[in-house]
Structure 1
Amino acid sequence: MSARLERFNSSGDQRHLQGDKALAEVTALLQEVAAAKGAPEGFSSDAVFLARDFYQLRGELGQSESESQFLRNALSLHQVAATFPPQDLPAAIRALLAGSWEPLRSSGPADAVVEAIRLSQADIGSTDLDSHISELAGLLQLISPLYWDWCVFATQLGLAYRERFRRNSAREDIDAAVETSVSAALLADHHPSYVEILMNAGLALLQRHEAVAEIGDLEQALTANQNALAVCPPDHPKYAELNSYIATCLGRLYDRNGQVELLADSLPHWREAAENAEDPDEVVFNWRGYSMTAQNRFNAAGDPADLDRAVMAALRGAEHATSLSPEQRGMILSELCEALALRFQALGKSEDLEGAVAAGEAAVSVQGLPSQHAALGRVLSFDYERTGDLAAIDAAIGHCRAALRASSGTAEGSSAESYGELSAALRLKFAHTGNRALIDEAVALAREAVSLSPPSDAGRPVLLNGLSLILQDRYRVDGALADLDEAIGLCEQAISLSPPGHFTVRMSQHNSASALIERFTRTAERRDLDQGIDHYRTAVTRTPEGHPRRVLSLLGLLEALTTRAREFGETDDLQEALSVADKALEAAPDGSVEQILVRTAVGTLYRIHYEESGAPESYQRGVEILDDALAAVPETDSRRFFPLMNLGQIHTAHAYAHRKTGSYRLAAACLTAAADAPDASLEHRVMAASMAGWVAGSAGLHYEALNAYGKAVELLPLLAWHGLDRSDQEARLTGARGVATEGAAWALEADDPARAIELLEGGRAILISRALDDGEDFQRLRAVDPDLAEELISVRTELDTLIRISATPD
C-alpha cells in the first residue's frame, strides 16, 4: 500500500480534504485508487468520498476527453457503491475495482449526475428559472437519493425555488423549496457540505415563516441552524452567517411568544456573527442586530446594562461603516440614534439625547429613508418634551411628514411606522397648543397606521396603543364617550394579539386601566374601576423592579386605589395605597416628570386620609408633598392643576376643621389658581372654579366667591362646545349644575345685580336641558330675590320654546 493511500485510509472523515489538499495530491490519489486491482486491507467506504473531491476540482483540471471520461468512471463508482448497505460497501468497492470500468461508462445515472453538477453550478440569478428548475428536478428523478451528492443537487433546486418565490410570491414555490431543502438535509449527515445544506434548509423554513407566519416553520428553522452550528468550526466560512440566522430566529420567536430568555440567548449569537464576519457589510448588519436585540431586551426586562450594550454595538457598527455605501451607513447611524434615544428616555442624560439627534441627522443626510426621518422625528419629540421648545416639535413634525412623502412614491407605499410617528408628534403639539385640528389629524393618522399593519405584525399592538392614547386625549377635550369606549377596546385587542410575556401586554394593560378609570369618573360604573385596578396590578407585577416604566404603573395603581377608597370607603384600599405610595416615591427618579406625578398622587392620598382621620400628621405630610410637587412644575405647565387642586382641598378640610379664615383664603387661592392652569381640561377647570367659589362663599368672602363663579360660567361655552353630541354636552354640564345661579346669588350678596343678570344669562345660554337647570337651582336665588328668580324662570320658558322650534326639521 502506498504512503498516500495509507494516509487516506487512516484519515477517517474526508471532509477536511476539501480545500486542504493540493490539486496534484487529490488527482494522484484518485488515479492510484482507480488503478488498483483490489481493495487494500481495511479499505473503508470512505474511499468513495474521493470521487466528490475530484469532480469538485474538475473545473481546475480542465475538461479533456480523458479527464471527463475518468470523472464519469469515478462518479459511476460512487453511484453504484452508494446503492449498497454500509456494511457491504467494502466488498462492493473491491468488486468494482477488480472489474472493468467499461460497463459503467454509459450509465444513465452517471450522465444525469454530470448534468446535475453543471446545473448546480449555474448562476440562478441570470438563468431562465423555469427551465432551470424543470431540468434539475427531472435529473433528480433519475439519480438515487442514496447517491452521495443527491443532497447537494436537491439543495440547489431548493435555492432555485426560493429565488422564484422571491420574484413571484407563489406559495407552491416556497413549499417546494422547503420540501426539497429539508429532504436534502435529512440525507446529508456526514456530507462535507452538511453545514451549508442544513443552513439552506433553515433559510427555506425561515422564508416560508416570513410569508405565512407559521410558528412551526420558525422553530424548525432554528433547530436546523443550531444543528448546523453544532458541527461548524469557528473558522468555517459559514460560521458567522449561521450565528446571524440563529439570532434572527430567536428574535422572531420572541416576537411570537414573548419569552425574554430568547433575547438573552440571541445576543451572544449576534456578537459571534459580528466578530467573525469578514464582509464589512455583514459586520455592520450583525452589530445592528445586536443593538436592536439589546434594546428589545431592555424594554422587556429593564436592565440598564442592555442600554449600554445597545449603544456599544451601534457605535462599533458605525466604525465599520465609514467606508461602506450610504445605505449601510444610514442604517447603522439610525440604529445609533434609536439606542441613544432609548437610553436618554430611561436615564435622562442630555448628552445621550444630543448624540441621538446628531446620529439621526447624519442618517437622514447620508440616506434619508422614511424610517430614518421618522426616527429623527421621534427623537426631536423627546427634545421638545425636555425643553418645551416649540421649534423642536415643529422640526419633529416636519421630519415625520418627510417620511410620509419619501415613502408615498415607493412600491411599498407609506409605512405604518411613519403614520404612527407623525400622529404621536401631532399629539404632543396639541398638548402644548390646544389646537383642535391637531388632535383630529393625529387620530386620523393613527387609524391609518393601524390599517397598514396586518394582524400578524409584531408591531401592531404598539400601533393600537398609540391610537388608544390619542383617543383618550381627545376624550379629555371633547368628552365624547365613544372615543373612550373605542380606546378601551383597542387596548384589549392589543392584549389579545401580544404573546403572554411580551412587554406590549403590560403596556396595553396600563393604558387600558387608565381609560377604564377615566370612564368610571364619567359613568360611575364600579366594574370599570375594579377592572382598571386589576389591570394596574398585573402591569406592576409584569414590570421588573428597577424598570424605569414601573413607576407609571405604580402611579396608576396608587391613584385608582385612592379613588376606590374615597368613593366606596374601602379601608383595605387605603392601606394598600399607602404601601404603593412608598414604592412609587422610591421608584420615581429625582427631578423627573414621574416624580411630580407621584408626589401629586401621594399628596392626594394623604389629603383623603386627613379628611377621614383628621390626623395632623397626614395634613402636614400631604401639604409638604404637594408643595414639593408644585414647586417642580413650571408656571405654564398644565400639570400644576392637580397639586393646586389637592392643596386647595386639603386646606379646605383643614379650614372646616379649625374654622380659620386664613385657611379658607389659602384654599380658595389654590383652587382659583388651579382653575387658571393652562391646558388643564375644561371640566377640571370648571370644577376648580366652582369649588373656589363655594369655599370663598363659606368663609363670607363675597367678592372672591363672585369672581370664582364668574370664571366657571365663562368656561361653560367651551366645556359644551357645539361639535359634541347632545348627550355628551349634557354629561359634561352635569358637573356645572347651579353654577350660574350660585354666582348670581353671590353677586346680589355683593350688591351687584347687573353682574347677577350677566351670570344668569351666560349660564342659561348654554344649559341645554331642564334636567341641568331645574327648580332646585333657583332655591338660593329665590331666598335672596324672589322677583328676579320668577323673571328668570319666565325667560327660561321662552328660551326652551325657541330651542325646540330651532331643533324642528324644516
Structure 2
Amino acid sequence: MSEADFPDALLRAYDLYKQFEVTDDVADLDTAIGVARDCVRGSTLADPAYGNSLSVLAMALQSRYERFGHLADLEESIAVGRSAVQAAGSTEALAEGLHNLGLGLQMRFERRNDRRDIDEAVKASRAAAEATASDDDAYPLYLSMLSKALQTRFDRLGDPADLDAAITAAESAAQRSPEDSPDRIVTLSTFGSMLATRFRHRGDIKDLDTSVEVGRSVVALAAALPGRSASTAGIWSNLGLRLLLRYEYTGELADLSEAVEAARTAVRAVPMDDPSHTTFLRNLALTLLMRFEQTRDAGDIDGAVATARAVVAGLPPDHPEHGGAMASLAVALLTRFTSTHATDDVVEAVHRLRAATAIPLASPSERIHAMALLSVALHRQYAHSGQAALLDEAVAVARSVLEAAPAEHPLVGITRHHLGFTLADTYRATADTELLDDAIGEFRRASLTASATRYRVDAARAWGEWSARLRRWSAAVEGYAAAVTLLPTAAWHGSARTSRELLLTDWHGLAVDLAACAVAARRHDCAVALLDSGRGVLWAQMLDIRTDLAAVRAQAPHLADRLEIVGRELNRADLWAITGPS
C-alpha cells in the first residue's frame, strides 16, 4: 500500500490507525474508522483512493475486533475486504485486499469454527502471495500469513500437506525478511511457531531448540518497540509455550521457570478488557499448574486456580471456549483437592463440569473430555463425602462417554479403567454382584483397549483380583496372565530407569498371584510354569535396566531423540488428561 496515493483525510485515518498500534488509545482507532468510512463514502469505484480507503478501513476494523471482540466489527471488515478485492485497480491493491480478507476470514474461523472460512482464508492468503513479486517488500509478510492460515487448518483438520506447506512458507518468509524490516517480528514469530508445530508431530528436538531461540530473538526485537500491545503479549506467550513444551520433554526446571515468567509478562502486556487477555491467562494457569507438579508450592496451585477462574469470568457464556475454560478450571481445582482435600474444591469442580457439559463445546472431542473429567470428579467427591448418588451419576456419565467417543479415542481405555473402579466402589456400597460383574467386564475391556500401558496393566490386575474374590479362578488366571504379559511393554527400555523400577515394584506380586490362582483353578500342571514365566519377565527387566542410547545415537541421532521422546510420552500420566496428578 503506497501512502503517497492517499488523500489527506485517508492519510489521517492511516496515521491514527498506526498510532493506535503504539499507544493503544482506543479513541485514535475509533476516529481512524470514522474517517476511513467517510473516505469510502466520499469516493467512487473509479477513484484511485477508493480501494485504499477500503483497505485502511478493513485493517482498522480488524484491530478493533481484536481489541474488544465485537463480532460486528469482524463481519464488517470481511465485507469491506471483499469490496477491496473487487475494487482493486492494481496488482498491489489486489494483493493487499486479499491479504486483509484472508486475515478476517481466519479470525472468523477461530471464532465460529466454520470450515468454509479457513478454506477461503488459505485461498485468499495464497492468492495474495502469488500476486506479489518475490522481491517486493510485502512478499515475506504475505507468505507468513499464508503459513499461519495453513497451520490453523492443520491444527483443526490434521492434513500433513498443510503442515508441510506451512513450514515451507514460514521458512521462506523468514529468510526473505530483511533485518530492518518492520515485518521481521511477524515472519520470525511465524517461523518459530512452525518449528514448534513440526517438533510436536515429527519429534526432532533440534526444531524445538531452534524455535525457542527464535522466540527469544523475537522478544528482543519487540522490546525495542514503543508501547505494549496484544502482539507483544503474543510474542511472550509463544515463547513461554515453547519453553513449556521443551520442559515436558527434557525436564529442565530452568525452562519451566522461564516459561512462568514469560506467561506472566504476556498477561501484563495487555489490558484486562482485551479479548486476548483470557488466552494469555489460560496459558499462565497451565504453566503454574505444571510447575506445581514439580514444586508442590501452594502458591503455584493457588495461582493456577485463581488464574483459571479469571479466564472463566472473562469469557461470555456463548463464547466457544467458555466450556473448555470451565474444564480447565476444574482440572486445577481437582489438582488442589488432591493436595488439600478441601471440600469446596471438589464441589466446585463438579459444578463447573456439569455446566461445561450442558453447553455446546468447541468440538465433540472437548465434550468427551469434559464428560470424562466430570465422571472422575464425581467419583472423587463420593470418596470424600460418601454420597451414594454421586457414584450413580459417575457411572452414568462414564457410560455416556463410552457411547459418544469413537472406539479409537484416546480416552476410551482410560474411561473404561475408571468406570471399572467406580462400579467396584458401587458394589462395595450395595453388595450388588451384577455391578461387580460389570466392573470386571470393564476391567477386561480396558486391558484390551489401546491406551497407556500402565492403565491396561492396572485394569488387568483388577480383573484378576476381583475374579479371585468371587472365586472365579479361571477368570482370575486370565486377568493376571494379561497383566504379566503387558509388563514388558509397560516397563520398556526406552523409558526412564526410575520409572521402570517404580512400575516393577508396584507390580512385583503379579506372578505369585497368577500362580496361586492357577493352583486354585486346579491347573497344577501349569502353575509353576506360569510362576517362572511371570517372574522371568520381572527379572529380565530388572537385570536389563539400562537407558544408554549412545550406540543408537551414534548411528541414528534422530532415532535416539525420537526414542527418548516416545519414552517420556509413555511415562507421562495419561490420566492427567482428565484428572490431573493423583
The reply to whether TM is greater than 0.5 is: yes
Give 3-state SS (helix, strand or coil) of 1:486's partner. Answer: helix
CA drift of 1:243 comes to 3.6
User: What amino acid does structure 2 have at the position aligned with 1:759?
Assistant: L
Q: Which amino acid aligns with 1:421?
A: T
Q: Secondary structure at the match of 1:287?
A: helix
Match of 1:755 among 516, 534, 537: 534
1:341 aligns with 2:113: no
3-state SS of the aligned residue for 2:223? coil
Inter-partner Cα distance in structure 2 for 1:337 and 1:653: 54
CA distance in 1, matches of 2:147, 2:486: 39
What SS does the corresponding residue of 1:736 show, helix, strand or coil? helix
State yes or no: 1:312 paired with 2:91. no
1:420 paired to 2:189: yes
Tell me by how many angstroms 1:696 deviates: 2.7
Say if 2:443 is the partner of 1:668: yes
* Local SS of the residue matching 2:181: coil
1:37-56 matches, cutoff 5 A? none
In structure 2, what is the Cα distance between the partners aligned to 1:601 and 1:689?
A: 19
Whether 1:404 and 2:174 are equivalent positions in the alignment is yes
Q: Amino acid of the residue matched to residue 337 of structure 2?
A: A
Displacement of 1:366 after TM fit?
0.5
The alignment status of 1:355 with 2:127, answered yes or no, reads: no
- CA distance in 2: counterparts of 1:445 and 1:393, whole angstroms: 19
Shift of 1:764: 5.2
Deviation at 1:637, TM superposition (A): 5.1
- Partner Cα separation in structure 1 for residue 533 and residue 152 of structure 2: 50
Q: 1:518: how far off? A: 2.1
Of 120, 143, 163, the match for 1:393: 163
Shift in Å at residue 639 of structure 1?
5.5
> Partner of 1:268 in structure 2?
34
Equivalent-residue separation in structure 1 for 2:505 and 2:223 (angstroms): 51
Once the 2 structures are TM-superposed, how far is the Cα of residue 533 of structure 1 from its aligned partner?
Answer: 0.3
Preserved contact between residue 66 and residue 276 of structure 2 (Cα < 8 Å): no
Q: Distance in 2 between matches of 1:578 and 1:285?
A: 53
The alignment status of 1:572 with 2:344, answered yes or no, reads yes
Partner of 2:283: 511
Distance in 1, matches of 2:395 and 2:380, equals 12
Contact 1:377 1:397 in 2 (8 A): yes
Tell me how far apart the structure 1 counterparts of residues 445 and 70 of structure 2 sit (CA, whole Å).
41
Task: Give identity over the alignment, percent.
Answer: 20
Residue 538 of structure 2 aligns with an amino acid whose one-letter code is L
Q: Quick one: distance in 2 between partners of 1:673 and 1:444?
A: 43
Asked whether the 8 Å contact 1:267–1:290 carries over to 2, the reply is yes
Does structure 2 retain, via aligned residues, the 8 Å contact 1:250–1:266?
no
One-letter amino acid matched to 2:175: R
Amino acid at match of 2:156: R
Write out aligned runs for 1:38-187 (5 A). none
How many residues get paired? Answer: 510
Distance 1:668 1:545, change over 3 A: same
2:62 to 295, 314, 328: 295
Q: Which amino acid aligns with 2:85?
A: A
CA contact (8 A) 2:419 2:439 kept: no
Q: Distance in 2 between matches of 1:619 and 1:289?
A: 59
Matched residue type, 2:42: N
Distance in 2 separating the partners of 1:641 and 1:403: 43
Q: For residues 490 and 689 of structure 1, do their structure 2 counterparts lie closer, same or farther at Cα, with a shift above 3 Å needed? A: farther
Deviation at 1:557, TM superposition (A): 0.9
1:552 aligned partner, one-letter code: G
**How far 1:605 sits from its partner (Å)?**
2.0
1:239/1:273 contact within 8 Å kept = yes
Q: In structure 1, what residue type is equivalent to 2:110?
A: Q
Cα separation, 2, equivalents of 1:569 and 1:348:
39
Which has the larger displacement, 352-361 or 535-544? 535-544
Aligned partners of 1:246 and 1:269 also within 8 Å? no
Aligned to 1:556: 328
Counterpart of 1:383? 153
Aligned residues of 1:716 and 1:763 also touching (Cα < 8 A): no
Taking the TM superposition and a 5 Å limit, the aligned residue runs for 1:777-796 are none
CA-to-partner distance for each residue in 1:640-691, whole Å, 9 max, x for gaps? Answer: 56645544543453355446542332442464367x33xxxxxxx3542453
1:329 aligned to 2:94?
Answer: yes
Describe the shift of the 1:416–1:712 C-alpha distance in structure 2 as closer, same or farther (beyond 3 A): farther
Supply the distance in 2 between the matched residues of 1:447 and 1:711 (Cα, whole angstroms): 44
Cα separation, partners in 2 of 1:252 and 1:740, compared to 1, 3 Å: same
The alignment's TM-score, normalised by the length of structure 2, stands at 0.76
Matched to 2:150, the amino acid is: L
Q: Give the drift of 1:401.
A: 1.9
Structure 2 partner of 1:529: 301
Q: Which residue of 1 aligns with 2:318?
A: 546
Q: Aligned equivalents of 1:742 and 1:662: distance in 2?
A: 24
Higher mean C-alpha deviation, range 388-397 or range 345-354: 388-397
CA shift in 2, pair 1:366/1:638, >3 Å: farther
C-alpha separation in 2, matches of 1:536 and 1:364? 39
Residue 381 of structure 1 aligns to a residue whose secondary structure is helix
Mapping 1:344-493, distance limit 5 Å: 344-367=109-132, 369-407=139-177, 412=181, 415-434=184-203, 436=205, 438-454=207-223, 456=225, 458=229, 459-493=231-265
**Structure-2 residue corresponding to 1:619:** 391
Q: Separation in 2 of the partners of 1:292 and 1:552?
A: 30
Decide whether aligned partners of structure 1 residues 703 and 403 sit closer, same or farther in structure 2, where only a CA change above 3 A counts: farther
Alpha-carbon distance in 2 for matches of 1:252, 1:692: 58
Instruction: Structure 1: give runs of 5+ residues left out of the alignment.
Output: 1-235, 678-684, 722-728, 769-810
Q: Deviations over 1:376-421 (max 9, x none)?
A: 22222232233322222222222222222332x6753982323332
SS in 2 for 1:589: coil
Cα shift readout 1:342-371 (whole Å, capped 9, x = no counterpart)? 111211212112211211111121116122
Q: Residue 552 of structure 2 corresponds to which residue in structure 1?
A: none
Indicate conservation of the 8 Å contact 1:426/1:439, yes or no: yes
1:356 and 1:718 map into 2 onto residues whose CA distance is 46
Closer, same or farther in 2 for the Cα pair 1:664/1:624, shift >3 Å?
A: closer
Task: Give yes or no for contact 1:671–1:691 (8 Å, CA) kept in 2.
Answer: no
Distance 2:409 2:203 in 1: 13
Range with greater deviation from structure 2 (277-286 or 570-579)? 277-286
Correspondence for 1:594: 366
In structure 2, C-alpha distance between the alignment counterparts of 1:270 and 1:246, rounded to whole Å: 10
Q: 1:411 to 1:530 in 2, by over 3 A?
A: closer
Q: Does the 8 A contact of 1:654 with 1:663 survive in 2? A: no
2:376 maps to: 604
Taking a change above 3 Å as real, the CA distance of residues 747 and 534 of structure 1, as seen in their structure-2 partners, is same
Q: TM-score, normalised by structure 1?
A: 0.56
Tell me by how many angstroms 1:541 deviates.
Answer: 2.4
8 Å Cα contact 1:706/1:747 also seen in 2: yes
Moved more, 470-479 or 565-574: 470-479
Q: Tell me which amino acid in the other structure corresponds to 2:41.
A: E
Query: Is the Cα contact below 8 Å between 1:475 and 1:481 reproduced in 2?
Result: yes
Amino acid across the alignment from 2:94: R
| Aligned amino acid, residue 497 of structure 1 | A
Offset from partner CA, 1:71-96 (integer Å, 9 cap, x none): xxxxxxxxxxxxxxxxxxxxxxxxxx
Change (3 A) 1:281 1:510: farther
- 1:574 shift after superposition: 2.6
Residue 696 of structure 1 is matched in structure 2 by 463
| Residue of structure 1 equivalent to 2:524 | none
Gaps of 5+ in 2: 1-5, 469-475, 519-526, 548-582
Offset from partner CA, 1:514-561 (integer Å, 9 cap, x none) = 121123233433322111001112222233443333333222112212
Q: CA deviation at 1:740?
A: 5.3
- Tell me the distance in 1 between the aligned counterparts of 2:485 and 2:357: 38
